[in-house]
Amino acid sequence: MLRDKLEKGEFAITCEFVPGRGKTGPGVEAAIEFAKAVAGPDSKIHAVSLTDNPGGNSAMIPDALAPEIQKQGLDVLVHFSCRDLNRNAVESRLDALARAGVNNILVLTGDYPASGYEGNAAGVFDLDSVQTVKYIKAMNAGLEVAGAKKGTTTQLPKTNFYVAAAVSPFKLREEELVPQFFKLEKKIAAGADFIITQLGYDMRKFLEVKRYMTSRGLKVPLIGNVYVLSYGAGKTMNAGMVPGCVVTDELLKVLEAESKEPDKGKAKRLDRAAKMVAMFKGMGFNGVHIGGFGLKTDDFLFIIKRADDFAGQWESFIPEVCFSRKDEFYLFPPPVTYRPTDVEEDPIKHLPPGHVQIGYSISQAFHRVVFDRGSLGCRLLTSYYQMTLKHPGLARFTHFNEYMVKMLSFGCRDCGDCALPDMAYCCPQSMCAKQQRNGPCGDSKCGLCGACEDEKPCAWTVVYSRMKGAGKLDDMRNHYVPPRKMNLAYTSGWANYFLNKDHAAAAEASKEKEPESTKP
């Protein structure tokens, strides 16, 4: 079982299947056949990993297939995308999974929805992946919910989820890459039990995830992603058509040459995958996640067997899988060794200083005078907003003026639960296609939002540059932002702040409740 394996510190292997569209089809059948073929007490495979509508396309939900695979005697890892469900539906789906005995969950932001029945589907993104991990952990502890009598609470039965989260180190620029590591840290702080990397073909970048985790004392298991890459899939990724997946021009040329061989490059790509498995093992990763389009049971078994044959030579393969782009940013200096090390310095300390951003400094100064709890401005405005409760016309007039100022300055969408101070005065509603409040999704491409059709910077690159310029990167990596309060939509964010109705008040209250010993 996957959890036992990882908890014992043994090397775990998961194999990925994509269920596909329709109640049956090659993806569904392949997963079942695979489970039948490899299940058993001595199986080298510890879970079948089932995707959740990858690429934002409709497909059979993995929850239906998971129990069928478990019945064959093989564990499953169900992907759980935040894209399609609001928080209540998230809980409902988790209850159903718990009921079905499916406990391994990989929480993902989810690719932006693609075209579906009669047009493009809507993205929900009610919770982000950090909030979802925290939610699942609260369910594991027994969720406290409102009781039958007013003012009472009751505890729901505890669940037993084992939660994975993802990290995407294949980012070209500093302002894209560092926020990925910060979000990783938030996911682990929220309770993620293990981490799986995005697929990629640069072992130095994979190593950087390990080095970052070591430097920050993040001691959860780390699983490397091995995607068996054909020329066709490589072309699609190279063209930027698979969100967050990088295939460089140089790698594409190698794949093209391989595709001209009589077996269309199959032997070479399976060997590359086996070498990557061997490298991850040698580098001290805790397992691998093997996937690839159209892979058969024998292909998976071949890769695993071949990786064992390669074990002694893993270091010699590293130069074969080090495909980087021009001006690729690395957070750490070139590695002296790819073997596991116990000590790494926090790389953030060694970054060159950022540039102070005047607009951000002005917003901060304004915030200190007007919004900081205890400031004169805050005391006066709290009284003012209390007074507006008795004067709806004045409340509407004040709200209109607030909206005009914030719309013109920050592109405000009037969500009523303002995250501007949490995100260096970037509005998540207008600047981030997935409204992420705790860090970037994995989609950005060369600093641009990977989910937007027009070329617009990923909101989190802007947040990073502002926070870096202000010397506040530690705040950025430690600050958890609770989910948006949807009932506040189209109400005054300022009134909600001063009258303690928004997420900031909830966050302050939960900080006060925290025992002294756990406060940062």
**Residues that bind ligand SF4 in the complex, under the rule CB under 6 A:** 432-434, 436, 440-441, 443-444, 449-451, 458-460
d(CA 392, CA 444): 43
Closest CB 68 distance from ligand SF4, rounded Å: 33
d(CA 345, CA 332): 9
Closest CB 73 distance from ligand SF4, rounded Å: 38
User: What DSSP state is assigned to residue 155?
Assistant: E
Closest CB 456 distance from ligand SF4, rounded Å: 7
In the complex with ligand SF4, which residue's Cβ is closer, 277 or 451? Answer: 451
In the complex with ligand SF4, which residue's Cβ is closer, 424 or 432? Answer: 432
Q: How many CA atoms lie within 13 A of 241 on its CB side?
A: 7
In the complex with ligand SF4, which residue's Cβ is closer, 66 or 459? Answer: 459
Closest CB 221 distance from ligand SF4, rounded Å: 26
Torsion of CA 244, 250, 255, 257, to 10 degrees: 160
Closest CB 430 distance from ligand SF4, rounded Å: 10
In contact, 44 and 83? CB cutoff 8 Å:
no
3-state DSSP call for residue 15? strand
Closest CB 350 distance from ligand SF4, rounded Å: 25
In the complex with ligand SF4, which residue's Cβ is closer, 109 or 230? Answer: 109
In the complex with ligand SF4, which residue's Cβ is closer, 168 or 248? Answer: 168
Alpha helices in 39-86 (DSSP H): 62-71
Distances (CA, A) of 49 to 134, 302, 498: 22, 18, 46
Closest CB 491 distance from ligand SF4, rounded Å: 24
In the complex with ligand SF4, which residue's Cβ is closer, 81 or 444? Answer: 444
d(CA 15, CA 27): 13
In the complex with ligand SF4, which residue's Cβ is closer, 37 or 448? Answer: 448
Distances (CA, A) of 512 to 62, 117, 187, 479: 40, 48, 22, 15
Torsion of CA 334, 336, 340, 343, to 10 degrees: -80
